[in-house]
Amino acid sequence: MLTIANGVELADWEIDIAQIRAQGAGGQNVNKVASAVHLRFDILNSSLPVFYKERLMALSDQRISNEAVIVIKAQSYRTLEQNKEDALHRLKTLIQGAVKQEKARRPTRPKKSAKRRRVDNKTRRGKTKALRGKVTP
């Protein structure tokens, strides 16, 4: 059971975890041990609320296939258990990140006093530079 938020949980049957061999260098044991994990989660056939499904489908994430299946490959750790935990944690953060609503940005403008100060500084600086010309005898 994976808890996403209050009242939103994923059952174990919804998450398909398969063992695979990890890529890359690993010494003598690399070709014998399947310690990496492929996690597959079908969005449309899950028990997630409709709002969650819509937000996940709207994401443009390379881990979400055209068939609405999230595929996460975890191979950072040397043990299968740690890779399973890592994959489940990444699935949880992906789902929570899709549902999280960002605060709307309101564009701001500089105040009149700030504009006035800026122009005053520019004119003062210009007058200083104007005094740096050639001196005529």
CATH code for the domain in which residue 73 is found: 3.30.160.20
* pLDDT given for residue 28 in this prediction: 64
* pLDDT given for residue 60 in this prediction: 86
pLDDT in tens, 71-94: 999 988 888 899 999 999 999 999
Range of the domain at 30: 2-99
* pLDDT given for residue 75 in this prediction: 87
Buried b (16+ CB within 10 A) or exposed e, 99-135: beeeeeeeeeeeeeeeeeeeeeeeeeeeeeeeeeeee
pLDDT in tens, 105-122: 999 999 999 999 999 999
pLDDT in tens, 24-33: 766 666 666 7
Is 92 contained in some domain? Answer: yes
Domain count, the chain: 1
pTM of the model: 0.69
Is 115 contained in some domain? Answer: no
Average pLDDT over residues 33-55: 88
Task: State how far the Cα of 87 lies from the Cα of 124, in Å rounded to an integer.
Answer: 61
Q: Work out the percent of the chain whose per-residue pLDDT is above 70.
A: 94
